[in-house]
Amino acid sequence: MNNVARNVERVRERIGEAAARAGRDPDEVLLVAVTKTQPVAAVIAAYEAGIRHFGENRVEEGEEKIPAVNSVLRSGDSHLGSDCHLVIWHMIGHIQSRKAQPAVAHFDYVHSIDRLKIAHRLSNFACQLGRTLPVLLECNISGESTKFGFDLMGWEQDTARRDAFLAAVEEILALPGLDVQGLMTMAPLVDDAEETRPVFAGLRALLEMLRERFPTHEWRHLSMGMSDDFEVAVEEGATMVRIGRAIFGELR
Ligand X SMILES: *Cc1c(COP(=O)(O)O)cnc(C)c1O
Q: What is the spatial distance between Cα 153 and Cα 162, in angstroms, rounded to a whole number?
A: 9
**Minimum distance from CB of 159 to ligand X (Å)?**
29
Q: Which is nearer to ligand X, 211 or 245 (CB)?
A: 245
DSSP state letters, 50-114: T--EEEES-HHHHHHHHHHHHHHHHHTTTSS-S-GGG-EEEE-S---GGGHHHHHHH-SEEEEE-
Nearer to ligand X, 46 or 246 (CB): 246
Q: Residue 74's beta-bridge partner residues?
A: none
CB atoms under 10 Å from CB of 79, counted, come to 7
Residue 34 CB, shortest distance to ligand X, in Å, is 4
For residue 112, the minimal CB distance to ligand X (Å) is 7
In this complex, which beta carbon is closest to ligand X, that of residue 46 or of residue 243? 243
Q: Shortest gap between Cβ of 81 and ligand X (angstroms)?
A: 29
Binding site for ligand X (CB under 6 A): 34, 36, 57, 92-93, 186, 226-228, 242-246
Select 94 or 204, whichever has its Cβ closest to ligand X: 94
Least Å from the CB of residue 184 to ligand X: 8
Burial 165-187 (b: 16+ CB within 10 A, else e): bbebbeebbebebbebbbbbbbb
Closest CA to 115 of 141, 98, 132, 97: 97
Q: Which residue is nearest to ligand X (CB)?
A: 244
Choice between 18 and 246, CB closer to ligand X: 246
